[in-house]
Chains A and B, each alone.
Chain A
């Protein structure tokens, strides 16, 4: 058999920015695909707009196009590269939709290329609900009763047949976007209306409710010889009704007999054959009635999915890698199992451990969002844990989420727990339902009580009962004996939890435990339950007899990953960790990765020499360090690359005697602690915006009066911009304090001077103790006040002068010296007037490291890792890892744009959440546009992030008073570009006074006019507007702006909320109008 030799080049389509429902699992799968193809000597052409991915690193493909993933742009790439084949099954729904677009446009035929993996017919059969239903029926399976609808009238008629509640599922959307459960006509109209809009074919499916049934997922692989294997079964602890991405899931399935499991297996195999997925992976979801075992086939994804990544990590079977090999013609029995090295890939992994995946949400970022979990996915990340029992895996998984609310608590006094209220609350699934369940059971609720409320399988509830029972035993006064501690550790009670139960400190427990010599052992994920020897050190901890960590002679470096994806800490940090591992392996060290995020490249078993799939807590990390120290020399731990998570562990590790490589914990503290950092700045004669700390409302008003409005206020005890607001007057400041915080001397409020209309600058730099390498100076497109993670930025900075550039470099050097950085530092500056202000410094890899590395061709994270281990910048220059002289130079003009998840969230009343940027980060991902001019690269970034900017048509403009003057020039430019301008009263008058014609349109609050004149919202809904410019007056939904922005978001009309963005859009549209945007691979840019 072997591979198809006619394939000499393949275009791999990536998945674009990280969004809810499509995260870095596709970087993991795409990276595997690129590696496999290159190893086969195939020319790899890649398109992906996401710069934060490993796959878009220049060395992973022969030609890497960081370009929009649209049929139009891909056609340009195909025309240029003429690939023999296109692989679209590893880039999520984005790639699959692009492939269908290419097919429909006739592009594939025109350039005589073809899809490999799954063809268009198979994709349609798998994804078109009506056809898929027919397939299920044909193979003797059962689907939920349902009706396909294309209009609201059909929807209302459909419910007559199915009765409430009904499930609504739009066709061709990912992550369950736009789907939901309706209990009455009002909710039906809301959800189904949105569903019709979200579906590219205006098609929704109404379905009988099977809420409360058991939910399962099987990962299936097929090769061209029709060999089929089931890689993994996954059981959802949350029954039907919660999107599988938002469910707590467990592998393998635990509550099915073999008879029932084989039925699911048989159905899966028949389905993949009938759908005709030629080669590769797919996943199939089932619902099983817990009362009689009736099986309903829910859906299939004819591609590698989020669950495939989870299944790969859960079993050690690399689905994406093997899917790629199958796509180029290999059969399963021809592919070797990497882990055993002797057995073939044509087998079904068997697990001798339990895997639990828990979702991580970001509801705190979207205060008005509906917190209920439904069939629309809302989580932004996930953590996975492996244990030798379900309680062990679950407790680890909850710890991995890094949220104190997620960990089970066992209060001695249960009088404060209202069991009845909890039982009522848990009927509706929300982020912490399992914790509600555990608390209720801790306070006396029975398994049957909880089952009635949640339909969570009794087996899982019983396991929670066992955990509570163990906690009760542990709370009894007893000697801290080996048996006592072992019994706690078998269920993975953390030292902190045991300490809490005994009313002592975590450190006391750890000391006692170590004194008794009680440490975890590390088992191996080997695909075969130990039947064959495993050669890949992919480990997880357990408190058992025998450890499988092998001794080694090479010195090891331990790299801490960044844990579950969350807003503010995602794939960018994984990128840096992976780079560190690659470069240190090359430099002759043994790299050891610790992470718990199954979506990432860092948790691929061949990224590092050793992988520990463990929570990133002090205890869990210390135990790995202990185990590795017994195995051989350990040089230390790198904490500066994985974001705030490992950085937060640095001090504790150091206190426990662990060597921190790179920037020391003391230096980290100098940068992070406000007072200390202020001193550093003062010593270096650098300026920071004035600020004050208020412990009462009166004090806050005093400080504001002293430093002048506007001010940025935030509670001092939260990080990451949470709860931050910019206020412009006393009334708003008082309002913020009464509304948003409880203010006490222990919990003061920070009041910073806000630099209105300042230019914000982001710098990433390397420092080795004597030399500074300035990686890149980025200029934010939005002015200060928008969180840097949400702001578009451009590299090189466009508007700063050479002397400003010089003072930025000087300031960066001073701060790096003053803090004592050894490795990477990210500094945010603002330029207002002639003054350079230092906003903050982070002595670690930043979110922008991958973007800067792509734009300049300098691998900053690799260099940082080497500097941590003592190599100087001068050495790295002579090695060629850094340029021979000078700082990082942008090879073209690169724009980074943030992608925001507004369309994912809805308020409890069913309406959208406000789509306005602010000092709190809300974006989930980013894209990059690269071109010769700012206009072109901005246009590309907008297309990648939001879809095309209009070249002509109607632009709606509504400017807040503070933005009117800066909005004038771009308004004029839009008129000159031939756009029809419309505006609400105030803005229209202002424009008219400045000689720009804009038609007046009614505000939403004004209602339709007497002659039936439409309001702006009505206009948006009827498709009369192509672009929205709306700058917010203040936060809150009172403003008309909210109605405008949410309508735009829901209609997918580009919506710009800052005047800086408005100005950039002018240049972008100008570039679009001038003609075609060209495409170039990053490798060519970097040669310049």
Chain B
């Protein structure tokens, strides 16, 4: 196997072996600590432009299958693993992981000390990275190449990942509500979770206008997860303010949560190395209960966690906090139907502890029925 190099912005280089597609790739280096769910990770649009380091050493054991794809393609910019499996063993497996990565031209690297890399990223923060499995460059040249690329801060990526056309995911069973979901990088599991609760989901492009939203006569608006820096999203933030003004119930997750936060007037900031895993404890401040949740975020909202805050849309509060580091993980308006969480109630991959949030969205739509005059 050919040599390959993982080259970090700060000059540290890991030598491994070429895996998946050969070539070179760049992105933001982030680590993912889930022990299951590599396929969901790969196909999660939120990982667009990121080179993902899997901390679990054996990856690919169960191959890949169609039902577990979270979107139409693999989004990661590069994939870093210690021991890729050269055999797949699972009754649902359709294809070998490496074959799938090669088919989608995803450059990977294997055989590096992923724990050392993870510790480095933890201590120094997420940073730019390149994988080179064509090695005609010197080490210095590779570092220069990496430093030429764009950083994640300030990245505007929704256009890359969003659907171009609106599409509809029909409700399962009796249709109770319609929801307009703004696709900022939505995962398949979200419309599935809503549809299972009798919601017809209209998935709209990221640049949908308020009129396009009202045209589907939504009972609620869903703001999806997605990649990029929330501070670049002023258009969508303005759109959300219009939705808030129209008093249409809103549920945002992850990137959508950050956008709701910005729409309410809060700042967002970049975390040192982010939360990416499926074991993150989140405290529901109201019930005192802890849920184990799937996370994938590099940015977070700055909001007061100890008291009710005021916004132009009325009072609100932080509802959830991350127990590992106290990050704001959820907020809601108290007099309007809008709430959001920084994590992934749709899981995929990850635990189902937070699935109740979809029920909460349903309850919210029941509490704040569509105002005919507005829409």
Contacts and interface: CB of A to CB of B under 8 A. Distances in A.
A702 interface: no
Most A CB contacts (10 A, CB to CB) among B35, B62, B87 go to B35
Interface in A508-565: 523, 528-533, 544-546
B31, B85, B92, B279: residue with the most chain A Cβ atoms closer than 10 Å: B279
A781 to B, nearest CB: 53
B281 interface: yes
Interface string A312-340: 00000000000000000001110000000
A846 to B, nearest CB: 41
Q: Is the interface of A mostly helix, strand, loop or mixed?
A: loop
B292 A255 contact: no
Interface string B72-110: 000000000011011111111000000000000000000
B286 interface: no
B58 A389 contact: yes
B36 A257 contact: yes
Interface stretch (A225-233, A632-640, A961-969, A1005-1013): A225-233
A262 B279 contact: no
Contacts of A528: 33, 279
A305 to B, nearest CB: 22
A257 B290 contact: no
B34 A258 contact: yes
Interface string A763-787: 0000000000000000000000000
Interface string B15-54: 0000000000000000101111101100000000000000
A462 B87 contact: yes
Interface string A1037-1068: 00000000000000000000000000000000
A546 B279 contact: no
A344 B91 CA distance: 37
Nearest to A259: B68
Query: Which range holds the interface residue count of chain A?
Result: 35 or more
Given A343-B324, A348-B279, A529 B36 contact: no
A289 to B, nearest CB: 8
B290 A333 contact: yes
Contacts of B112: 545
Interface string B273-291: 0000111110100001110
Interface residues on B, range: 35 or more
B349 to A, nearest CB: 4
B56 interface: yes
B57 interface: yes
A258 B279 contact: no
Contact of A258 (B40, B82, B122): B40
Find the residue from A230, A254, A259, A533 having the highest chain B CB count within 10 A. A259
A152 to B, nearest CB: 39
A523 B115 contact: yes
Contacts of A266: 352
A529 B281 contact: no
Given A352-B56, A352-B118, A462-B87, A258 B323 contact: no
B115 A352 contact: yes
Contact of B62 (A1, A226, A255, A545): A255
A711 B289 CA distance: 71
B281 A346 contact: yes
A802 B127 CA distance: 79
B89 A457 contact: yes
A342 B68 contact: no
Contacts of B191: none
A399 B254 CA distance: 47
Contact of B113 (A347, A529, A531, A545): A545
Contact of A292 (B14, B61, B91, B115): B91
Given A265-B351, A546-B113, A462 B56 contact: no
A388 B324 CA distance: 25
B55 interface: yes
Contacts of B292: 229-230, 346-348
Contact of A257 (B92, B114, B279, B283): B92
A344 B323 contact: yes
Contacts of B58: 254, 354, 389-390
Given A347-B323, A531-B33, A546 B116 contact: yes
Interface string A218-242: 0000000111011001000000000
A546 B91 contact: no
A349 interface: yes
B350 A350 contact: no
A851 to B, nearest CB: 44
B87 to A, nearest CB: 4
B91 A255 contact: no
Nearest to A388: B57
B179 interface: no
Given A350-B34, A350-B279, A545-B116, A226 B289 contact: yes
B124 interface: no
B119 interface: yes
Contacts of A332: 290
Given A256-B90, A257-B36, A459 B61 contact: yes
Contacts of A226: 289
A390 B61 CA distance: 12
A582 interface: no
A257 B94 CA distance: 13
A225 B288 contact: yes
B61, B118, B277: residue with the most chain A Cβ atoms closer than 10 Å: B61
B91 A349 contact: no
Given A261-B36, A531-B277, A254 B61 contact: yes
Interface string A268-299: 00000000000000000000001111000000
A388 B35 CA distance: 13
B146 interface: no
Contact of B56 (A333, A344, A529, A533): A529
Given A352-B56, A529-B33, A459 B87 contact: yes
Contacts of A291: 91
Contacts of A388: 57, 82-83, 115
A351 interface: yes
Nearest to B65: A257
B347 interface: yes
Contact of A262 (B85, B283, B347): B347
B346 to A, nearest CB: 12
Contacts of B89: 255, 457-459, 462
A252 interface: yes
A225 B284 CA distance: 12
B348 A258 contact: yes
A80 B41 CA distance: 60
A501 to B, nearest CB: 22
B119 A546 contact: yes
Contacts of A531: 31, 33, 55, 118, 122, 277, 324
Nearest to A534: B119
A49 to B, nearest CB: 39
A353 interface: yes
Contacts of A254: 58, 61
A462 B86 contact: yes
Nearest to A291: B91
A302 B375 CA distance: 55
Contacts of B350: 258, 262
A350 B55 contact: yes
Interface of A: 1, 225-227, 229-230, 233, 252-262, 265-266, 290-293, 331-333, 342-344, 346-354, 388-390, 447, 457-459, 462, 466, 523, 528-533, 544-546
5 contacts: A253-B35, A347-B323, A349-B279, A544-B116, A545-B116
Given A354-B58, A388-B82, 6 more contacts: A257-B36, A257-B62, A258-B348, A350-B277, A530-B55, A531-B122
Q: What are the nearest 5 A-B pairs in CB distance?
A: A258-B37, A546-B116, A258-B349, A529-B55, A459-B89
Interface of B: 14, 31, 33-37, 39-40, 55-58, 61-62, 65, 67-68, 82-83, 85-92, 112-116, 118-119, 122, 277-281, 283, 288-290, 292, 323-325, 347-352
